[in-house]
Amino acid sequence: MRRSALILALSGVVLAALMMPTAARAQASITATATVASALTLTAGNDLDFQLVIPGFTKTVAVTDGTAGTFSITGGAGAEVNFSFSTLDNPLTDGGGNNLPITYTGVHNTVNNAGAGATAFTPSAGATTNLSGLGELYIFLGGTVDATLSPPNGTYTGTVTLTAAYTGN
């Protein structure tokens, strides 16, 4: 009988708890969301072209010139990336043992404009920055070749290779 009374009393407590007004208890939920960024895409644009260089002089291509070298990076909107040149040949060579010294200059921008809003960086060091809200970054490469030592005539070339990776930030 005591057992029945205990069960009956506990049942009453449980029933009372279930019948509490909703104001006495509350519940809320949130949603956990993660957006995974797309893979980075790196595209080579224009070659860095000094065109005709006169022996005995230097020649400069500004990053804003139409013959400046260009690259574009696309990926996750606003994501932080690090880019650097894994190959930045200096000097340029003619394949016959002759050299043409070069110094590089660079800027990057989140719009396809080497002028307004562009940020200068040292090409030999690379840079860390964020992609635009559209997931874009543009890199412009200029430089100066030094023909003051009057190298032999010919075409001098070098390779410029850009690499980029997300930083995880």
Q: What is the dihedral of CA 105, 109, 165, 42, to 10 degrees?
A: -90
Helices marked H in the chain — which ranges?
A: 2-18
Burial of residue 122 (CB within 10 Å: 0-12, 13-18, 19+) is exposed
Whether 33 is covered by a domain: the verdict is no
Mean per-residue pLDDT of the chain: 91
Whether 9 is covered by a domain: the verdict is no
Residue 92: DSSP 8-state: E
pLDDT at 20: 55
Amino acid 67 reads T
Whether 8 is covered by a domain: the verdict is no
Whether 21 is covered by a domain: the verdict is no
The structural domain count of the chain equals: 1
CATH number at 129 reads 2.60.40.1090
Question: How far apart are the C-alpha atoms of 162 and 126, rounded to whole Å?
Answer: 9
Does an H or E element contain 58, and which? strand 58-61
Q: What is the dihedral of CA 9, 13, 16, 20, to 10 degrees?
A: 170
Note if the bond before 91 is cis, omega within 30 degrees: yes
pLDDT at 72: 98
pLDDT at 37: 92
Q: Which residues, in sequence order, are CB contacts of 97 under 8 Å at separation 6+? A: none
| Residue listed under structure tokens 């070098």 | 158
Burial of residue 87 (CB within 10 Å: 0-12, 13-18, 19+) is exposed
Whether 127 is covered by a domain: the verdict is yes
Q: Which domain holds residue 48?
A: 41-166
Whether 28 is covered by a domain: the verdict is no
pLDDT at 24: 84
pLDDT at 21: 59
Question: How far apart are the C-alpha atoms of 51 and 137, rounded to whole Å?
Answer: 27
Whether 48 is covered by a domain: the verdict is yes
pLDDT at 124: 96
Mean pLDDT for each consecutive 10-residue tract of the chain (169 residues)? 52 52 84 94 98 97 98 98 96 96 98 96 98 98 96 96 96
Write the pLDDT tens digit of every residue in 33-55: 999 999 999 999 999 999 999 99
Phi-psi region of 56 (alpha: psi -120 to 50; beta: other; left: phi over 0): left
